Amino acid sequence: MAKITFDGVEVEVPDGTTILNAARQIGGSIVPPAMCYYTPLKGSGGKCRACLVRVAAGSAKDPRPMPKLVASCVTPVQDGMVVENTTSEQVLNVRKGIVEMLLINHPLDCPVCDQAGECDLQNFAFEHGVSTTRYQEERRTFEKIDIGPLIQLHMTRCILCYRCVYTANQITDNRVHGVLGRGDAAEIGTYIENIIDNDFSGNVIDVCPVGALTDKTFRFKQRVWFTKPVNAHRDCPKCSGNVVLWYKGKEVLRTTARKDQYGEVKEWICNECRFEKKETSDWTIEGPAHIDRSSVISANHYELPVLNQSVIADLPESTQRDLEKNPPLKLGS
């Protein structure tokens, strides 16, 4: 066991736990954001740099601070480690920089993007970003690609987190897509236009933190915050059959895997459950799925659910005036 101090809170975790997972045991607003790390996927993490934290003391044995910020999702804890996240000005500044970097080539087409409302990048930018950009150059764009009849790849939105690559590696027996090219020309692709034909391929949609991989059976049907999530299950010969159905009225618009509070899939589901079973009669309904109060899905309308006090000053004046009139649900720190 190793005892670490994270943002002033002490926590004891088994050896080999990453700093991020130790912070998740504490929970709350001090948990660093993670855009590429995904607990169920071995080897993921370290790429987006959103979770960088400052290690003020390396361990009890060697209490020197680490020279650089470290990616909390891949750095294991050491006994006596002291980590600063929200308490470090440097970390917050760097995180602002990371948002900026992730957004410079992102199309910011949230108004027409199916992921809006449950998008990791949107949440991350909302909490840590600024409302203006210093980037004047042309953004990189790609053609939309249909990878099979059920999934669409819109590479322009991709932040190259590699989650879908790891998913295909680890839960299917044959990966046909991967990262091609290098630098900001890198893209997810199948090289020669290929379809991803696998019973579990739909899971890449769930792991995608942005709207780069979308469910073609749900595209443009409805904004997610107008749909109601309901837990349901069925006897499925391929997967666990535990899913969330997203209803609009009596209609099941989409089916996804169940996710935990950090947006990570609990159990992978098969394509049959995801794309084909869209009748209530196919399922045994368990009840409404829990949605975090801070989520726009819970707010059910597109309002500021949690507002980071520190970003208010960066907002346009008109928005600030609106905020004074209609205060948000709660103010984050």
Partner 1 sequence: MGRKLLTEHINVEGINTFEVYRKHGGYRSVEKALKTMTPDEVVEEVKKSGLRGRGGAGFPTGMKWSFLAKPEGVPRYLVCNADESEPGTFKDRQLMSKLPHLLIEGMITSSYALGANTSYIYIRGELLYVLRILEKAIAEAYAAGFLGKNILGSGYDLDLHVHPGGGAYICGEETALLESLEGKRGNPRNKPPFPAVQGLYARPTVVNNVESIAAVPVIVNEGGDEYAKLGVGRSTGTKLISACGHLNKPGIYEIELGLPVEEFIYSDEYCGGIWKGRELKAVVAGGSSVPILPKELILKTAAGENRLMTYESLSDGGFVTGTMLGSGGFIAMDETTCIVRNTWNFSRFYHHESCGQCSPCREGTGWMEKVLHRLEHGHGHMEDIDLLVSVAKQIEGNTICPLGEAAAWPVAAAVRHFRHEFEWHVTHAKEAAQPGAVYRANAVLV
| CA-derived radius of gyration, the chain | 20
Contact characters 193-232, partner 1, x per CB under 8 A: ----------------------------------------
Among 102, 188, 205, 304, interactor with partner 1 by CB under 8 A: 102
> Is residue 328 a contact point for partner 1 (CB under 8 A)?
no
Distances (CA, A) of 221 to 31, 55, 165, 210, 214: 33, 45, 27, 18, 12
Count of residues of this chain found to bind partner 1 when the rule CB under 8 A is applied? 35
292 by Cβ neighbours in 10 Å (0-12 / 13-18 / 19+) ranks as: exposed
Complex with partner 1: residue 186 or 331, whichever CB lies closer: 186
**Strand partners for 276:** none
Site residues for partner 1, 27-66, by CB under 8 A, read 45-50, 52
Among 19, 41, 55, 94, interactor with partner 1 by CB under 8 A: 94
Q: Which of the ranges 80-88, 155-163, 203-211, 261-269 carries the binding residues for partner 1, by CB under 8 A?
A: 155-163
> Is residue 105 a contact point for partner 1 (CB under 8 A)?
yes
Angle between helix 89-104 and 120-128 (nearest 10): 130
Complex with partner 1: residue 11 or 102, whichever CB lies closer: 102
**Strand partners for 146:** 152
Among 26, 60, 92, 101, interactor with partner 1 by CB under 8 A: 101
- CA–CA distance, 153 with 171 (Å, rounded to integer): 19
Q: Which of the ranges 19-27, 73-81, 265-273, 321-329 carries the binding residues for partner 1, by CB under 8 A?
A: 73-81
Among 12, 184, 267, 286, interactor with partner 1 by CB under 8 A: 184
- CA–CA distance, 261 with 199 (Å, rounded to integer): 26
Q: How far is the CB of 182 from partner 1 (least distance, A)?
A: 5
Q: How far is the CB of 87 from partner 1 (least distance, A)?
A: 18
Q: Enumerate binding residues for partner 1 (CB under 8 A).
A: 45-50, 52, 68-69, 71, 74-76, 94, 97-98, 100-102, 104-105, 134-135, 137, 159-160, 162, 178-179, 181-186
